[in-house]
Amino acid sequence: MNKKRILTGDRPTGPLHLGHYVGSLKQRVDLQHEYETFVLIADIQALTDNFEDPDKVNRNVLEVALDYLAVGIDPKVATMCVQSAIPEIAELTVLYLNLVTEGRLKQNPTLKNEIREKGFAKSLPVGFLTYPISQAADITAFQANLVPVGEDQLPMIEQTRDIVKKFNALYGKTLVEPEAFLSKFPRLPGTDGKEKMGKSLGNVINISDPADVVLKKVMQMYTDPTRKRATDPGHVKGNPVFTYLDAFNPYTRDVEELKRKYEEGKIGDVAVKEALAEVLNKFLDPLRARRETYAENPKSVMKILKQGTEYAREVAHETVSAVKTAMKIKYW
Ligand code: TRP
């Protein structure tokens, strides 16, 4: 029996960070043997809000590929591929445009936020407005069953499901209805205590950060603003240092002990942060080693992407054929 499929992707606009890891990368690595996994470097989507800076997108294709390899995506079992080199995705996007209304797109909360943040409110590029349709093409091109994503991507999966339902109702059952797969930690807060870790917010710890940078960022982290001295009882809830410990220290008993001491005013912020920096660096060390090995030979990484993309195209081609047949535009 064929394995069920997973598709996820990232925009290559900068290094991937621990928020990406917790929200989606970890799940991809954990599930890559159980599901046939496709990991898409979404460079066309990256251009929808970076069309003035193609160098940035170009540079980050390799960086994101290195991050994937660093976290343990295994190119022997998972397919890493590049969106722009799979024209079948662009073709599906065009074919889906008819199935989506402008009103529906503009209601998408993730898109709405981004339009505000990126200053697109006054003059909205159509490419950006329609990127959720292109993302539906990413997912359906591979007939993915499962899409591991962070919470902020849920509206994109909903949009995809709407398109699939409408397509199947109009033209006959052709497309797989995908489901989002949320992680236990759908959202990692920023080092500044803000709800979300985000590149544009400047509150991230990158997967590729060296140990001294991680230490420095952790020592500057937001903790419990009500606590003046180490002997004051501290708050663990809403304290990102403890959220990170929960997410990255596999020894939960050690974390519980630290929490207890913190709440009793028996340990200072500095000591807890030092403990966290050690935990994070221990977690990141093997990732750094893998990244370095691949980074020494960027050509081999580009070859992995090329081979993955070739296979991805074959799969996407089958979907396009089925879609065109269903839409009665396949003549020979
Ligand atoms: N929109 C996603 C992000 O900004 C990236 C992405 C592109 C994606 N295509 C995808 C995610 C398909 C899941 C499935 O992070």
Share of the chain above pLDDT 70, in %: 99
Block residue for tokens 């809830």: 237
Q: How is residue 323 written in tokens?
A: 């879609």
The tokens of 207 are what? 């997967």
Cβ contacts of residue 284 below 8 Å, gap of 6+? 207, 209, 211, 214
Q: What is the pTM of this model?
A: 0.96
For residue range 147-187, what is the model confidence (pLDDT) as tens digits?
999 888 999 999 999 999 999 999 999 999 999 999 877 68
Domains (range + CATH), the chain: 5-188+297-326 (3.40.50.620), 209-291 (1.10.240.10)
Q: What is the pLDDT of residue 307?
A: 98
What mean pLDDT do residues 303-316 have? 98
Per-residue burial over 26-37, b = 16 or more CB atoms within 10 Å of its CB, e = otherwise:
bbbbebbeebbb
Catalytic residue flag (residue 26): no
Mean pLDDT across 120-126? 94
312 vs 112: CA distance, rounded Å? 31
DSSP assignment, residue 206?
Answer: B
* C-alpha distances out from residue 287 to 61, 69, 252, Å: 18, 8, 22
**pLDDT computed for residue 150 by the predictor:** 87
Measured from the CB, is residue 83 less than 6 Å from ligand 1?
no
Greatest Cα pair distance, the chain, in angstroms, is: 78
- The pLDDT of residue 230 is 86
pLDDT above 90 for 303: yes
pLDDT score for 41: 98
Contact yes or no for 132/111 (Cβ under 8 A)? yes
Best mutation site among 16, 153, 196 for ligand 1 pocket (most ligand atoms within 8 Å of CB): 153
Kindly report the protein residue whose alpha carbon is nearest to atom 3 of ligand 1. Answer: 10
Rounded distance from Cα 128 to ligand 1 centre (Å): 13
Please tell me the distance between residue 258's alpha carbon and the centre of ligand 1 in angstroms. Answer: 36
pLDDT of residue 186: 65
List of E strands, the chain: 5-10, 36-41, 79-82, 146-149, 179-182
pLDDT at site 187: 83
Lowest mean pLDDT among 21-35, 115-129, 159-173, 178-192: 178-192
- 111 Cβ below 6 A of ligand 1: no
Long-range contacts for 156-160 (Cβ within 8 Å, ≥24 apart)?
Answer: 156/108, 156/110, 156/132, 159/100, 159/104, 159/105, 159/108, 159/132, 159/133, 159/135, 160/132, 160/135, 160/136
* Mean pLDDT of all residues in 109-138: 96
Tokens in use for 168? 């199947």
What's the pLDDT at 301? 98
Give the model confidence (pLDDT) of 62-104 as tens digits.
Answer: 999 999 999 999 999 999 999 999 999 999 999 999 999 999 9
For residue 216, the model assigns a pLDDT of: 97
pLDDT band, residue 215 (cuts 50/70/90) = very high
Is any atom of ligand 1 closer than 6 Å to the C-beta of 8?
A: yes
Q: Which two tokens stand for residue 51?
A: 């069309």
46 and 80 Cβ atoms separated by less than 8 Å:
no
Tens of pLDDT, residue by residue over 227-265, are: 988 899 999 999 999 999 999 999 999 999 999 999 999
280 neighbors 243 (Cβ within 8 angstroms): no
pLDDT at 1 over 70: no
Nearest CA to ligand 1 atom 14: 8
For 42-79, b where at least 16 C-beta lie within 10 A, e where not — what string?
Answer: bbbbbbbbbeeeeeebeebbbbbbbbbbbbbbebeebb
Which of the listed residues 5, 11, 20, 49 should we mutate to test ligand 1's pocket, taking the one with most ligand atoms within 8 A of CB? 11
